[in-house]
Structure 1
Amino acid sequence: MKHLLLLPLCFLTIFVFAQKKNSGYQLHIHKTSLPIKIDGELNEQAWKDAAVADNFFMVLPMDTSHAKVKTSVRMTYDAQNIYIIAVCYLTKQAPYMVESLRRDFSFGKNDNFIFFIDPFDDRTNGFTFGANAAGAQWDGSLYSGGSADLSWDNKWVSVVKNYPDKWIFEAAIPFKTIRYKKGITQWGINFSRLDIKEAEKSSWTPIPRQFPTASLAYTGTLIWDEAPPEAGANISVIPYVLGGLTKDYDAKKPTTYRKDIGADAKIALSSSLNLDLTVNPDFSQVEVDKQVTNLDRYELFFPEKRQFFLENADLFANFGYTNIRPFFSRRIGLGVPISYGARLSGSIDKNWRIGVMDMKTKSQDETGLPAQNFTVLALQRRLFARSNIRFMFVNKQSVNYQPGKDSTKPVYSLYNRNLGIEYNLASVNNAFTGKAMMLKSFSPGKSTGDFVHAANLLYTGKKWMLAWQHEIVGKSYNAEVGYVPRNNYIKINPQIGYNFFPNRKGKVLSHGPLLSSTYFFNTKFHQTDNETYLDYKISLRNQSVFDAWVAHDYVELLKPFDPTNSGKDSLQTGSKHSWDAWGTSYTSKPQKLFTYAFSTRYGGYYANGTRLNLTTDLGYRFQPFVNITLSASYNRIALPKPWGVTNFWLIGPRIDVTLTNTFFFTAFVQYNNQQKNVNVNTRLQWRYKPASDFYIVYTDNYYTAPLFIRNRALVLKFTYWWSM
Structure 2
Amino acid sequence: MHKVLLSLCCCLFICGFATAQKKNAAYRYHIKRSALPIKIDGVLNEAGWTEADSAGNFYMVLPMDTSFAKLKTVVRMAYDNDNFYISAVCYTPQPQYMVESLKRDFNFGKNDNFIFFMDPFDARTDGFSFGSNAAGAQWDGTMYEGSKVDLSWDNKWYSVVKNYSDRWVFEAAIPFKSIRYKKGIKEWGINFSRNDLVTTEKSSWAPVPRQFPTAALAYTGTIVWDEAPPVAQRNISVIPYVLGGITKDFENNKPAVWRKEIGGDVKVGLTSSLNLDMTVNPDFSQVDVDQQVINLNRYELFFPEKRQFFLENGDLFANFGYADIRPFFSRRIGLNAPIRFGGRMTGKIDKNWRVGVMDIQTGTSGSANLPGQNFGVVTLQRRVFSRSNIGFLFVNKDATGNAPAAGNTAPGYNRNVGMEFNLASSSNLVTGKLLALKSFTPNVTGRDYVAAGHFQYLSKYWTFYLQHEYVGKNYNAEVGYVPRNGYNKISPLVQHNFFPKSGNVLSHGVQLSSTYFFDESFKRTDNESVLSYLLTFRSRATLTVSGFDTYVKLLRPFDPTNNGKPLLPTGFENHWNTIDVQFASKPQSVFTYLLEVARGGYYYDGNRWAVTGQVGYRFQPYVNLLLNTSFNDLHMAQPYGHNKFWLIGPRADVTFTNTLYFTTFVQYNEQAKNMNINSRLQWRYKPASDLFIVYGDNSIPSPFTVKNRQLTVKWTYWWNI
Matched residue type, 1:79: N
For 1:335, the equivalent position in structure 2 comes to 336
For 1:20, the equivalent position in structure 2 comes to 22
Corresponding position: 1:538 with 2:539:
no
* Distance in structure 1 (CA, Å) of the matches to 2:383 and 2:68: 34
For 1:683, the equivalent position in structure 2 comes to 680
The Cα offsets for residues 146-166 of structure 1, whole Å up to 9 and x where unpaired, read as: 110000000000000000000
Unaligned runs of 5+ in 2: 1-9
For 1:502, the equivalent position in structure 2 comes to 500
Matched residue type, 2:213: P
* Distance in structure 2 (CA, Å) of the matches to 1:353 and 1:313: 12
1:138-537 paired onto structure 2 within 5 Å: 138-401=139-402, 408-503=406-501, 505-537=502-534
- 2:621 corresponds, among 615, 620, 624, to 624
Matched residue type, 1:48: T
CA positional deviation for 1:365 = 3.3
* Distance in structure 1 (CA, Å) of the matches to 2:259 and 2:407: 28
1:581-600 paired onto structure 2 within 5 Å: 581-600=578-597
* Distance in structure 2 (CA, Å) of the matches to 1:231 and 1:115: 23
* Distance in structure 1 (CA, Å) of the matches to 2:465 and 2:554: 27
CA positional deviation for 1:9 = 10
Q: Report if aligned partners of 1:15, 1:428 keep a CA contact under 8 Å in 2.
A: no
* Distance in structure 1 (CA, Å) of the matches to 2:11 and 2:536: 38
Closer/same/farther in 2, CA of residues 249 and 164 from structure 1, 3 Å limit: same
Q: Report if aligned partners of 2:373, 2:401 keep a CA contact under 8 Å in 1.
A: no
For 2:40, the equivalent position in structure 1 comes to 38
* Distance in structure 1 (CA, Å) of the matches to 2:76 and 2:104: 24
CA positional deviation for 1:199 = 0.3
1:530-569 paired onto structure 2 within 5 Å: 530-569=527-566
CA positional deviation for 1:568 = 1.1
The Cα offsets for residues 532-577 of structure 1, whole Å up to 9 and x where unpaired, read as: 0011100000000000000100000000000000011110000100
Q: Report if aligned partners of 2:698, 2:707 keep a CA contact under 8 Å in 1.
A: yes
* Distance in structure 2 (CA, Å) of the matches to 1:322 and 1:307: 21
Corresponding position: 1:674 with 2:675:
no
Q: Report if aligned partners of 2:336, 2:365 keep a CA contact under 8 Å in 1.
A: no
* Distance in structure 2 (CA, Å) of the matches to 1:171 and 1:296: 46
The Cα offsets for residues 507-540 of structure 1, whole Å up to 9 and x where unpaired, read as: 0000001100110000111100000001110000
Q: Report if aligned partners of 1:16, 1:385 keep a CA contact under 8 Å in 2.
A: no
Q: Report if aligned partners of 1:367, 1:409 keep a CA contact under 8 Å in 2.
A: no
- 2:644 corresponds, among 644, 647, 656, to 647
Closer/same/farther in 2, CA of residues 586 and 367 from structure 1, 3 Å limit: closer
Where 1:619 maps in the other structure, the secondary structure is strand
Matched residue type, 1:471: E
CA positional deviation for 1:409 = 2.5
* Distance in structure 2 (CA, Å) of the matches to 1:14 and 1:304: 32
Matched residue type, 2:588: Q
Matched residue type, 1:673: E
* Distance in structure 2 (CA, Å) of the matches to 1:323 and 1:13: 26
The Cα offsets for residues 87-137 of structure 1, whole Å up to 9 and x where unpaired, read as: 00012x142100000000000000000001000000001000000000000
Matched residue type, 2:424: A
State the Cα RMSD in Å.
1.3
1:595-606 paired onto structure 2 within 5 Å: 595-606=592-603
For 1:60, the equivalent position in structure 2 comes to 62
* Distance in structure 1 (CA, Å) of the matches to 2:164 and 2:650: 35
Corresponding position: 1:716 with 2:718:
no
Q: Report if aligned partners of 1:16, 1:386 keep a CA contact under 8 Å in 2.
A: no
Percentage of identical aligned residues = 61
CA positional deviation for 1:352 = 0.5
Where 2:320 maps in the other structure, the secondary structure is coil
CA positional deviation for 1:15 = 5.6
Where 1:114 maps in the other structure, the secondary structure is strand
Matched residue type, 1:298: Y
For 1:574, the equivalent position in structure 2 comes to 571
* Distance in structure 2 (CA, Å) of the matches to 1:340 and 1:599: 45
Matched residue type, 2:427: N
CA positional deviation for 1:366 = 4.5
* Distance in structure 1 (CA, Å) of the matches to 2:611 and 2:179: 44
Matched residue type, 1:238: I
* Distance in structure 1 (CA, Å) of the matches to 2:368 and 2:533: 51
Matched residue type, 2:621: P
Matched residue type, 1:567: G
* Distance in structure 2 (CA, Å) of the matches to 1:485 and 1:634: 25
* Distance in structure 2 (CA, Å) of the matches to 1:531 and 1:119: 43
CA positional deviation for 1:41 = 1.0
The Cα offsets for residues 434-453 of structure 1, whole Å up to 9 and x where unpaired, read as: 10010000000011110100
Q: Report if aligned partners of 1:667, 1:680 keep a CA contact under 8 Å in 2.
A: yes
CA positional deviation for 1:372 = 0.2
Matched residue type, 2:381: Q
Closer/same/farther in 2, CA of residues 11 and 424 from structure 1, 3 Å limit: closer
Q: Report if aligned partners of 1:392, 1:419 keep a CA contact under 8 Å in 2.
A: yes
Corresponding position: 1:614 with 2:619:
no
The Cα offsets for residues 444-471 of structure 1, whole Å up to 9 and x where unpaired, read as: 0011110100000111000000000000
Where 2:498 maps in the other structure, the secondary structure is coil
Q: Report if aligned partners of 2:26, 2:221 keep a CA contact under 8 Å in 1.
A: yes
1:18-167 paired onto structure 2 within 5 Å: 18-91=20-93, 93-167=94-168
CA positional deviation for 1:368 = 2.7
Unaligned runs of 5+ in 1: 1-7
* Distance in structure 1 (CA, Å) of the matches to 2:262 and 2:368: 25
Matched residue type, 1:121: D
* Distance in structure 2 (CA, Å) of the matches to 1:235 and 1:306: 20
Q: Report if aligned partners of 2:15, 2:425 keep a CA contact under 8 Å in 1.
A: no
Q: How many residues align?
A: 712
Matched residue type, 1:716: V
Q: Report if aligned partners of 1:293, 1:650 keep a CA contact under 8 Å in 2.
A: yes
* Distance in structure 1 (CA, Å) of the matches to 2:446 and 2:97: 61
For 2:4, the equivalent position in structure 1 comes to none
* Distance in structure 1 (CA, Å) of the matches to 2:275 and 2:704: 49
CA positional deviation for 1:16 = 4.1
The Cα offsets for residues 143-201 of structure 1, whole Å up to 9 and x where unpaired, read as: 01111000000000000000000000000000000000110000000000001000000
* Distance in structure 2 (CA, Å) of the matches to 1:672 and 1:498: 39
Matched residue type, 2:624: N
Closer/same/farther in 2, CA of residues 15 and 430 from structure 1, 3 Å limit: farther
Matched residue type, 1:167: W
For 1:4, the equivalent position in structure 2 comes to none
Q: Report if aligned partners of 2:338, 2:365 keep a CA contact under 8 Å in 1.
A: no
Where 1:534 maps in the other structure, the secondary structure is strand
* Distance in structure 1 (CA, Å) of the matches to 2:453 and 2:709: 46
Matched residue type, 2:348: S
CA positional deviation for 1:412 = 1.7
Q: TM-score, normalised by structure 1?
A: 0.97
